[in-house]
Amino acid sequence: MRKELQANLQYVDALNEWDPFQLKTGGYETEIADTVQAVHELNDSNKLAERIQAIYEFSFEKLIPMESCLKMAEQLLILKANESCSI
């Protein structure tokens, strides 16, 4: 359980740094929680990027470019792979 918590915190840190709408003050708690859940459910970067885009669009009624979502999805899946490979 501790390992999963550590992984989730890494995902949260990466997503907080992303700040796709330049809010500078956070404000993405719900979206981050939904995205972390999606990381656990999906292993395909394209599908994860689509889910990320949909999560943020639902909340902010603005579309993040797919390229940006794909970059974040790939980063999150790298973190996921690194966590599953560690002892």
Kindly report, residue by residue over 8-66, the tens digit of the pLDDT. 999 999 999 999 999 888 899 999 999 999 999 999 999 999 999 999 999 999 999 99
CB 70 within 8 A of CB 53: no
d(CA 7, CA 36): 10
Q: Is the pLDDT of residue 87 over 50?
A: no
**pLDDT band at 85; cut points 50, 70, 90:** low
Instruction: Count Cα neighbours of 61 within 13 Å in the Cβ-side half-sphere.
Output: 0
d(CA 55, CA 52): 5
pTM, entire model: 0.92
CB 52 within 8 A of CB 65: no
